[in-house]
Amino acid sequence: MTTIRRATTADAQVLSTLNADVQAIHAAALPWRFKPPGPESLPAAEASALIANPNHLVFIADVENEPAGYAYAELISRPETSLHHAYKTVYLHHLSVRPQYRRRGVGTELMDAVRAAGRELGITLLALDVWTFNEGARAFFRRHGF
**pLDDT (tens digit per residue) in 31-68:** 999 999 887 789 999 999 999 999 999 999 999 999 99
How far are the Cα atoms of 15, 53, 55 from residue 43, in angstroms, in the given order? Answer: 9, 16, 20
Query: What pLDDT does 50 receive?
Result: 96
| Separation CA 73–CA 53 (nearest Å) | 11
78: helix, strand or coil: strand
Helices (H), ranges, the chain:
12-29, 44-52, 106-120, 135-143
| Separation CA 146–CA 89 (nearest Å) | 15
| Separation CA 9–CA 18 (nearest Å) | 15
| Separation CA 14–CA 98 (nearest Å) | 12
Cβ–Cβ contacts within 10 Å for residue 8, how many? 13
For 83-139, the pLDDT digits (tens) are 999 999 999 999 999 999 999 999 999 999 999 999 999 999 999 999 999 999 999
- DSSP H or E stretch at residue 93: strand 87-97
Whether the model clears a pTM of 0.85, i.e. scores above it, the answer is yes
| Separation CA 146–CA 143 (nearest Å) | 7
Are 4 and 59 contacting, i.e. CB atoms less than 8 angstroms apart? Answer: yes
